[in-house]
Amino acid sequence: MRADADHLPFPAEFFGGIFAFTVLQNMPKPAQTLAELKRVGVVGSRIVATGLKKPFTIDKFMDLLEDSGMQVEAFIDDEVINCYIAVLSA
């Protein structure tokens, strides 16, 4: 399905898990995108989101995650990979 990530065509609490691989840096308002992912995730579901290091400093990415209202359960910043990986709880 092709859809706007900031206005997903799914009801609230539709998905038990969400994986957003290299999506956030391509969105004009990544905070809005995270809010939409939270909306379509079942309460307590896991959302795995990545952010490429070139457009996001670690501080900017962490601020984005913390401002989402979701809990950061795990975070990976490995020099071998070119992105940050976060596991959030909706």
Mind listing the pLDDT tens digit for each residue in 20-45?
Answer: 999 999 999 999 999 999 999 999 99
Burial of 33 (C-beta count, 10 Å sphere; 0-12/13-18/19+): buried
Q: Which residues are CB-contacts of 4 (< 8 A; sequence separation ≥ 6)?
A: none
Size of the chain in residues:
90
Residue whose C-alpha is closest to residue 27's, from 51, 48, 9 = 51
Kindly tell me if the per-residue pLDDT of 58 is higher than 90: yes
* pLDDT at 44 (0 to 100): 93
- Model-level pTM? 0.92
* pLDDT at 79 (0 to 100): 86
